[in-house]
């Protein structure tokens, strides 16, 4: 039997999927990247405005499952106001912590796609073909 906390967090994930925070576009972003997970079809574009080495604004547009959309919503909330070095230090453990639900290895790729795309947007990884981040 699932705990009330577990059910509450699952409901929160569904709410974020239906009405995500930071969903939209930025008119003139300083950083932008599109990432995809070819295994499940999730795709996300992250746009960031950096001012004085801090994230002033961050938005995303995505097509994907509830886990990837909720993760993007939570990660973009978490990233606002952080320095680029602070963004670079965000790891997969933080994503799982923000989601508050157990994530299977298959779903972990969905949950981490927004973080990987965010990291790519600020130049942490080599660009994939056609300027898209790849979730391997």
Please tell me whether residue 127 adopts helix, strand or coil conformation. Answer: coil
Q: Which of 133, 127, 89, 135 is nearest to 108 (CA)?
A: 135
Structurally, the chain folds into a number of domains equal to 1
* Total residue length of the chain: 136
Across residues 3-16, what is the average pLDDT? 77
Quick one: pLDDT band at residue 2, thresholds 50, 70, 90? low
The separation between CA 69 and the C-alpha centre of its own chain, rounded to angstroms, equals 7
Q: What is this structure's pTM?
A: 0.84
Q: Which domain holds residue 16?
A: 4-134
Q: Which two tokens stand for residue 116?
A: 């990987």
Residues 83-112 have pLDDT tens digits of: 999 999 999 999 999 998 888 888 899 999
Residues 6+ apart with CB under 8 A from 44: 34, 35, 36, 60, 61, 62, 63, 64, 68, 72, 113, 114, 117
**DSSP label at residue 20:** -
Q: What is the CATH number of the domain that holds 43?
A: 3.90.1010.10
Encode pLDDT of 18-40 as tens digits. Answer: 999 999 999 999 999 999 998 88
């Amino acid at each position: 039997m699932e705990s009330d906390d577990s059910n509450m967090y699952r409901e929160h994930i569904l709410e974020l999927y239906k009405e995500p925070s930071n969903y939209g576009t930025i008119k003139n972003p300083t950083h932008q990247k599109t990432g995809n997970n070819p295994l499940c079809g999730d795709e996300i574009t992250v746009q960031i405005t950096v001012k004085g080495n801090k994230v002033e604004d961050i938005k995303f547009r995505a097509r994907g499952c509830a886990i990837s959309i909720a993760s993007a919503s939570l990660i973009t909330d978490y990233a606002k106001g952080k320095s680029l070095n602070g963004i670079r230090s965000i790891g997969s453990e933080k994503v799982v912590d923000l989601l508050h639900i157990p994530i299977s290895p298959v779903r972990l790729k969905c949950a981490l796609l927004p973080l990987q795309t965010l990291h790519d947007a600020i130049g942490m990884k080599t660009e994939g073909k056609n300027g898209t981040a790849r979730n391997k």
